């Protein structure tokens, strides 16, 4: 939605249900299976609602380009395989990651409750959204979740001259007594790829130590990073070590591809990384009084706030979410019109405010 946005900044507020239905129509029109369209729409509308704009409707052209190019199969049926009583593998069959995760969620929760812990390893999947929407639902069921996903080569390892790591986000979610779950989602690159794209679109400079240009030289120009350059990992060699772990856990463990193995050169328009994802789910109250964990988590958050901590994980998203639910989600008119066009006549009419 990049080119036309700059022209018209007027916005209107629409409901979550409206945006979700509109996006579902867009995905259906582009050839997604009904279940896939529903899951992607809920995910994408949720990101927009929560102010996670780099994973909201900003991503629609990338989704559609990837689908149109034949790079991702939007009608894929994920295959769930129980590799062990606490180890579920899913072959996403070259489809999106979220439907693959959804296909195994009930089983993973059952196994985590039954055995205390379970692991979900997804391969052959395309993950094009934020990671927090994948973990938050587990915490709402009283479980802990730790997830990671690799992507495509865009970040350089400590001291390296060539990108091997993806942005490789890691996310965790934990229940918290009397509050929304604690949910953190962070790229192990110094900045998320979507945020570099937004900076480039808006003509803003990146902070120092976030990227290198195509010659491996440090730069604050987002366009130089996107044009053959690379991101740096956050926190120097420590972030690089975590990013390396994510490659091993999301590719070697799941049976998927390393970021450096992603080759979409035969699919112009493709933008979705075709890799793997790991979700570790733990029942925190296994062998203990129920909701002990949530009570203790609350004590920790209270102590953290008393110590003056700002920007608690997830806080900003929940604030945006509450505001969106109350006042609607603000969407630029140009973006809304474009989405209605993409949804096609009948669907667009159905979902018009």
| Residue with Cβ nearer a copy of itself (36 or 280) | 280
161 conformational bin, left if phi > 0, alpha if psi -120 to 50, beta if neither: alpha
Residue matched to tokens 């959804």: 102
| Residue with Cβ nearer a copy of itself (236 or 268) | 236
What helix, strand, coil percent values describe the chain, rounded to 5? 45, 20, 35
What is the C-alpha separation between 131 and 295, in angstroms, rounded? 25
| Residue with Cβ nearer a copy of itself (267 or 296) | 296
Catalytic residues: 54-55, 195
**Least separation in angstroms between CB 138 and a copy of itself:** 14
| Residue with Cβ nearer a copy of itself (59 or 210) | 210
**Least separation in angstroms between CB 162 and a copy of itself:** 4
What is the C-alpha separation between 75 and 84, in angstroms, rounded? 28
What is the C-alpha separation between 21 and 3, in angstroms, rounded? 24
Give the closest residue to 60 by CA, choosing from 335, 277, 300, 345: 335
Task: Determine contact, residues 148/169, Cβ cutoff 8 Å.
Answer: yes
Q: Is 94 helix (H, G, I), strand (E, B) or coil?
A: strand
> How many alpha carbons fall within 13 Å on the CB side of residue 223?
5
Give the closest residue to 257 by CA, choosing from 94, 128, 70: 94
Query: Length of the chain in residues, anyone?
Result: 353
**Least separation in angstroms between CB 76 and a copy of itself:** 20
* Structure tokens, 233: 């990992």
First to last CA, the chain: 20
**Least separation in angstroms between CB 37 and a copy of itself:** 30
What is the C-alpha separation between 353 and 348, in angstroms, rounded? 10
**Least separation in angstroms between CB 347 and a copy of itself:** 39
Radius of gyration of the chain (CA): 20
| Residue with Cβ nearer a copy of itself (27 or 258) | 258
**Least separation in angstroms between CB 44 and a copy of itself:** 24
E strands of 225-273, at which residues?
230-232
């Amino acid at each position: 939605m990049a080119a036309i946005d700059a022209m018209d900044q007027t916005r209107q507020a629409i409901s979550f249900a409206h945006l979700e239905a509109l996006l579902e129509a867009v995905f259906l029109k582009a050839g997604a299976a009904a279940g896939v369209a529903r899951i992607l729409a809920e995910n994408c509308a949720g990101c927009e609602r929560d102010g996670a704009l780099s994973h909201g409707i900003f991503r629609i052209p990338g989704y559609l380009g990837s689908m149109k190019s034949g790079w991702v199969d939007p009608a894929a049926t994920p295959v769930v395989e129980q590799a062990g009583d606490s180890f579920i593998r899913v072959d996403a069959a070259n489809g999106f990651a979220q439907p693959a995760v959804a296909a195994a969620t009930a089983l993973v929760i059952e196994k985590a409750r039954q055995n205390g812990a379970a692991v979900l390893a997804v391969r052959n999947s395309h993950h094009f959204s934020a990671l927090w929407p994948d973990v938050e639902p587990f915490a709402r069921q009283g479980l802990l979740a730790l997830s990671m996903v690799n992507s495509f080569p865009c970040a350089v390892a400590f001291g390296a001259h060539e990108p091997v790591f993806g942005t490789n986000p890691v996310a965790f979610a934990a229940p918290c007594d009397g509050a929304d779950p604690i949910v953190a989602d962070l790229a192990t690159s110094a900045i998320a790829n979507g945020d570099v794209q937004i900076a480039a679109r808006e003509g803003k400079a990146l902070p120092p130590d976030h990227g290198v240009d195509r010659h491996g030289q440090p730069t604050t120009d987002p366009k130089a990073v996107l044009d053959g350059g690379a991101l740096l990992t956050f926190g120097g060699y420590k972030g690089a070590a975590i990013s390396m772990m994510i490659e091993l856990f999301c590719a070697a463990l799941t049976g998927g591809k390393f970021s450096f193995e992603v080759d979409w050169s035969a699919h112009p328009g493709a933008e979705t990384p075709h890799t793997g994802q790991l979700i570790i789910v733990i029942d925190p109250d296994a062998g203990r009084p129920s909701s002990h964990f949530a009570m203790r988590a609350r004590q920790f958050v209270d102590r953290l706030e008393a110590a003056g901590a700002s920007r608690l994980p997830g806080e900003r998203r929940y604030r945006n979410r509450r505001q969106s639910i109350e006042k609607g989600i603000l969407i630029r008119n140009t973006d809304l019109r474009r989405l209605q066009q993409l949804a096609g006549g009948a669907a667009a009419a159905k979902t018009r405010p």
